Structure 1
């Protein structure tokens, strides 16, 4: 991926981790395809396994990770905690939880934000865009 002079000129990349294709479709639909009005389209990187999410996160170039806490075998909460502890300057993580009562687990996982099921498209879009904007404002986007 090429580095541009202005972080707002670069296409933003979202890493989406879920083993459920319907969850991935719902998230992409809710967040939308464009980062900001008149901006570059978002780049989606979808993965469905633990090895794939960790490997892709290690490569870098991710502006936001959306992790499904209900993924089988390696849920997004544990993966989030691992990535936050292992990746220097880890990008923000939006965690999809099983229910509103799981907010404390999202906190334990070190997630930057959480959206419970059933997924509310407006809440999901608001949370994702807020984290993307904060990343740009912090100058972390390269």
Structure 2
């Protein structure tokens, strides 16, 4: 069985690296190893979701020109019913933006910069929930 895939979206490479480092390759012992799929544009995210290439999405709410909050809302509102939206964690810059993440239907909210303990626990919780519903749907990454 392939490792679960966590899509990390940000227009900023340093932010993507911080998210990957915070979650780590093994967010929890019972979750096992995870793979990361880094995306820097909205079309990359939409293609990954459409092709079911990710089991969990981590979206940067501060990304430019399209923020993760808008992407999260768009995925939940505009995708056809036959496309399953993976669980979404939103990275927000201010605690006051948590309500926007809730409005966008995010499953978890992280504050920027991501805290490694909090990020890993949140990712593990969402992956466990996914594991209890079904096996990971993502195909193995090829590079």
What is the TM-score with the length of structure 1 in the denominator?
0.86
1:1-142 matched pairs, under 5 angstroms: 9-34=1-26, 36-37=28-29, 40-85=32-77, 86=79, 88-139=83-134, 141-142=136-137
Whole-angstrom distance in 1 between the partners of 2:131 and 2:30: 16
**Equivalences, count:** 134
| Residues 106, 114 of structure 1: 8 Å contact kept | yes
Contact between 2:22 and 2:116, CA under 8 Å: does it hold in 1?
yes
What SS does the aligned partner of 1:19 have?
coil
Runs of 4+ with deviation above 3 angstroms: none
Which of 1 and 2 has higher RCO (CA within 8 Å, sep 6+)? 2
Distance 1:12 1:31 in 2: 13
Scaled by the length of structure 2, the TM-score of the pair is: 0.85
Q: CA deviation at 1:43?
A: 1.4
Q: Which residue of 1 aligns with 2:140?
A: none
Aligned partners of 1:112, 1:21: CA distance in 2, in Å?
23
List gaps (5 residues or longer) in structure 2: 138-143
